[in-house]
Amino acid sequence: MIEQFSVEGQTVVITGSSQGIGKVTAERFAEGGANVVVSSRSREKIDEVVAGIEGTDPPGDAIAVECDVRERDAVEALVDAAVSEFGSLDTMVNNAGASFMAPFDDISENGWKTIVDINLHGTFHCSQVAGGVMQDQDDGGRIVNLASVAGTAGAPYMSHYGASKAGVVNLTTTLANEYAEHDVRVNCIAPGLVATPGVASQMGITAEEVDRESVDRRMGRPEEIADVIQFLASDASSYLIGETIEVKGVPRIGESDAEV
């Protein structure tokens, strides 16, 4: 790999990495020589991810740490585990998220709070705790937030999800400005439709059915989002600060970005 794109030797925490984009990203970083902390609320699932990574004998190491990003104590324990095991925290990938589809009038207060708590409040916890560690390090660090095109353009029947992801986009811009003087780069990715296990269960489309070589398409693969995450974690993106990169395939000219 060209040196500026390398993540070798980094310590990377990836929330929500029991499946989908987070899982593929964890595998990708370990393959690239990074030490990876795999995390989600399901201990069983993240243990399986780590076992799978270890089974390929990658140059990077991996550990599993159970964490609910809504809980401050759990996030602090997650970051402490990363630093204790590997000596630093170089990149925090805020990937944990949740959603469900419903008309705005049918969303309960509890449903609204749950989605915002996981998607936005969780990003707040992880960014603040990780940022505190990174500001004390000589070489700073990188925070990569995961938003969505629903947060940049809106999405029918996903008002709670879109609002929470819009908050992540705005937080990214503000935090990037505040953290820049501490050598901490903060950026964001807003994926479009990606063939994850969740999409497979709802739409019956798997990643294996998506041809990565085809340009003319509106669905991506988790690997394609992982590529951009790795870019933002590497020195190749050193002049990219506070940006939200939309990764959504063919432009939706004259229609909503949230449409398939």
Residue 256 within any structural domain of the chain: no
Residue 125 within any structural domain of the chain: yes
In DSSP terms, which residues pair with 190 in a beta bridge? 246
Q: Which of 73-82, 91-100, 148-157, 189-198 has the weakest average pLDDT?
A: 189-198
- For residue 72, what are the domain limits? 8-190+222-247
**Contacts of residue 121, Cβ cutoff 8 Å, sequence gap at least 6:** 69, 70
Residue 110 within any structural domain of the chain: yes
How does pLDDT run across 82-104, given as a tens digit for each residue?
999 999 999 999 999 999 999 99
Please tell me the number of Cα atoms within 13 Å of 61 on its side-chain side. 8
- Distance, in Å, from the CA atom of 181 to the CA atom of 152, rounded to the nearest integer, reads 27
Cβ pair 30, 36 in contact under 8 A: yes
Report how far apart, in Å, the C-alpha atoms of 255 and of each of 29, 165, 210 are: 35, 20, 22
Q: 249 or 132: whose pLDDT is higher?
A: 132
The count of structural domains within the chain is 1
Q: 18 or 200: whose pLDDT is higher?
A: 18
pLDDT category at 252 given cuts 50, 70, 90 is confident
Residue 197 within any structural domain of the chain: no
Tell whether the model's pLDDT for residue 199 goes beyond 90: no
Q: 209 or 56: whose pLDDT is higher?
A: 56
Tell whether the model's pLDDT for residue 144 goes beyond 60: yes
Residue 234 within any structural domain of the chain: yes
Report how far apart, in Å, the C-alpha atoms of 188 and of each of 27, 95, 144, 156, 200 are: 20, 10, 5, 22, 25
User: Helices 159-179 and 109-116, interaxial angle, to 10°?
Assistant: 30
How does pLDDT run across 61-84, given as a tens digit for each residue?
999 999 999 999 999 999 999 999
Q: Which one-letter amino acid corresponds to residue 197?
A: P
Per the structure block, which two tokens stand in for 93? 């990938």
- Distance, in Å, from the CA atom of 64 to the CA atom of 254, rounded to the nearest integer, reads 44
Per the structure block, which two tokens stand in for 234? 């590497």
- Distance, in Å, from the CA atom of 49 to the CA atom of 55, rounded to the nearest integer, reads 10
| E strand or H helix at 160 | helix 159-179
Residue 33 within any structural domain of the chain: yes
Residue 189's Cβ-count burial label (10 Å; 0-12, 13-18, 19+) is: buried
CATH number for the domain that contains residue 231:
3.40.50.720
Q: Which residues are catalytic?
A: 161
Residue 203 within any structural domain of the chain: no
Residue 143's Cβ-count burial label (10 Å; 0-12, 13-18, 19+) is: buried
Question: Which residue is it, tokens 């795999």?
Answer: 38
Residue 260 within any structural domain of the chain: no
Q: Which one-letter amino acid corresponds to residue 220?
A: G
